[in-house]
C-alpha cells in the first residue's frame, strides 16, 4: 500500500510517495519516490501579490507529472497541500479551480496552524519526553514555532518570516520584534533548558554540511553558525559551482540560517536536533490515519 503527499511551498513543490510497512502491528513508512522542483512561487507572490501566468503553467505541468508518477506507483490515496505563497496569492483560487477541473487534482490551502499540526504529528514522536523543545520550521514564506514540554505542545505561532520573503526584502517592520516577544513570553513558562528542533530543507542541508553528523542528528549552535558563516562567505555562483548547492537552494540557505540562529538565540538553545522530517511526512501519516478511520467505520 502506498500514499502520496504533495507539498507546494513558496520555494519548491515536493512529491513524496511512501509505502506502508506493517511489522507485527508496528506501522512505519518507507519512502519509495521523492521529487523536488523549484517553482519559486514566493518570488511572484511576495513581490506582485499574485502568481504569474508563466508560474501557473509550471504548476500545471508539474501537477500533471506528479499525477502520472502517482498513477505509475498505484497510490492508495494522496493529498496536496499549499502553504504561504499560494494562500497569499490573490489568484490562487482561480488556479486551484482550473487544476481541479482539468487534472481532477484537489489542492488544499492550509494555514500556518494546520501546517504546524501536520509537521508536529511526526516530529513529536522523535522528542525526548524529559526535555523542553522549541520546534522551528522555516519555509519560504513563513516560520512556524512550537514549544514542547513533556512531549506535549503548549504554544504555537506562525510568523511571516521566511527564507524567500527575507531574500526579497518583503518582511514587514516589527515581524522580528513580534517573534522575539512571543518566544520570550513562552520561555518564561518553562523551567530548565530549551532544546531546538529544526525542520525544513535548509536546516537539513546545513546539518549535512556540518562536522557533527552522527546518530543523534544534533549540532551545536556554534557549529550551525560556523557552517552558516562559511556558506555565506561564498557568492551565489560559488555556492552553486564550488559548494554544489542547487540553484534554488544557494540563494535562500543564508537567510534561512539566520532565522534558525535568531530563534535559537532568543530561546537560549545550545543545540538543534534535525530529524529530517517535514510537511510531506505529516501528510503521509494523516492519509494512513484517515484510511484506518474509514476501515473502522465500515467494520
Is 286 a member of any domain? no
Tell me the pLDDT band of 214, cut-offs 50, 70 and 90. confident
Is 243 a member of any domain? yes
Same domain? 128 vs 221: yes
- Beta strand pairing call for 132-138 and 194-199: parallel
Q: Give the integer Cα–Cα distance in Å for 177 and 266.
A: 11
pLDDT for res 257: 97
Same domain? 270 vs 143: yes
pLDDT for res 133: 96
pLDDT tens, position by position, 46-68:
999 999 999 999 999 999 999 99
Is 285 a member of any domain? no
Q: What is the CATH number of the domain that holds 234?
A: 3.30.420.150
Same domain? 195 vs 209: yes
Residue 168: pLDDT above 90? Answer: no
Is 184 a member of any domain? yes
> What percent of the chain is predicted at pLDDT more than 70?
100
pLDDT for res 26: 85
Q: What is the CATH number of the domain that holds 27?
A: 3.30.420.40
CA angle (142 as vertex; 253, 67 as ends), nearest 5 = 85
Same domain? 118 vs 215: yes
Angle at which helices 279-298 and 112-123 cross, to 10°: 80
Same domain? 125 vs 73: no
The domain tally of the chain equals 2
Tell me the pLDDT band of 27, cut-offs 50, 70 and 90. confident
pLDDT for res 104: 96
Q: Give the integer Cα–Cα distance in Å for 10 and 248.
A: 11
Is 56 a member of any domain? yes
Same domain? 182 vs 202: yes
Is 235 a member of any domain? yes
pLDDT tens, position by position, 131-164:
999 999 999 999 999 999 988 899 999 999 999 9
Same domain? 120 vs 230: yes
Pick from 269, 277, 137: nearest CA to 195:
269
Same domain? 89 vs 168: no
Same domain? 175 vs 68: no
- Segment 263-273 shows an average pLDDT of 96
Same domain? 119 vs 197: yes
Among 89, 111, 133, the domain boundary falls at 111
Among 92, 111, 130, the domain boundary falls at 111
Q: Give the integer Cα–Cα distance in Å for 249 and 260.
A: 16
Is 92 a member of any domain? yes
Is 292 a member of any domain? no
Domain boundaries, position 168 = 112-279
Pick from 86, 59, 80: nearest CA to 142:
86
Partnered with residue 81 across adjacent β-strands are 7, 108
Same domain? 273 vs 210: yes
- Segment 207-229 shows an average pLDDT of 94
Same domain? 274 vs 142: yes
Amino acid at each position: 500500500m502506498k500514499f502520496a503527499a504533495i507539498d507546494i511551498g513558496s520555494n519548491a513543490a515536493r512529491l513524496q510517495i511512501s509505502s506502508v510497512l506493517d511489522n507485527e502491528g508496528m506501522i512505519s513508512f518507507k519512502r519509495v519516490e521523492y521529487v523536488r522542483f523549484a517553482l519559486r512561487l514566493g518570488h511572484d507572490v511576495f513581490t506582485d501579490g499574485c502568481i504569474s501566468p508563466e508560474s501557473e503553467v509550471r504548476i500545471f505541468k508539474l501537477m500533471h507529472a506528479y499525477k502520472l508518477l502517482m498513477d505509475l506507483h498505484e497510490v492508495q490515496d494522496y493529498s496536496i497541500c499549499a502553504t504561504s505563497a499560494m494562500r497569499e496569492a490573490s489568484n490562487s483560487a482561480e488556479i486551484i479551480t482550473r487544476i481541479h477541473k482539468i487534472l481532477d487534482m484537489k489542492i488544499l490551502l492550509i494555514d500556518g496552524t494546520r501546517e504546524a499540526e501536520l509537521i508536529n504529528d511526526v516530529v513529536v514522536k522523535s522528542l525526548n519526553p524529559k526535555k523542553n523543545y522549541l520546534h522551528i520550521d522555516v519555509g519560504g514564506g513563513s516560520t512556524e514555532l512550537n514549544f514542547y514540554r513533556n512531549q506535549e505542545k503548549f504554544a504555537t505561532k506562525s510568523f511571516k518570516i521566511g527564507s524567500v520573503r527575507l531574500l526579497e526584502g518583503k518582511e514587514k517592520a516589527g515581524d522580528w520584534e513580534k517573534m522575539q516577544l512571543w518566544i520570550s513570553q513562552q520561555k518564561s513558562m518553562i523551567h530548565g533548558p530549551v532544546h531546538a528542533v529544526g525542520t525544513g530543507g535548509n536546516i537539513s542541508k546545513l546539518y549535512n554540511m556540518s562536522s557533527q553528523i552522527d546518530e543523534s542528528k544534533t549540532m551545536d549552535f556554534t557549529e550551525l553558525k560556523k557552517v552558516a558563516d562559511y556558506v555565506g562567505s561564498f557568492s551565489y555562483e560559488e555556492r552553486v559551482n564550488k559548494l554544489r548547492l542547487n540553484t534554488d537552494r544557494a540563494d535562500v540557505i543564508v537567510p534561512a540560517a539566520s532565522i534558525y540562529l535568531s530563534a535559537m538565540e532568543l530561546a537560549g538553545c545550545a543545540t538543534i536536533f534535525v530529524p529530517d522530517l517535514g510537511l510531506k511526512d505529516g501528510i503521509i501519516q494523516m492519509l494512513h490515519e484517515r484510511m484506518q478511520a474509514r476501515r473502522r467505520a465500515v467494520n
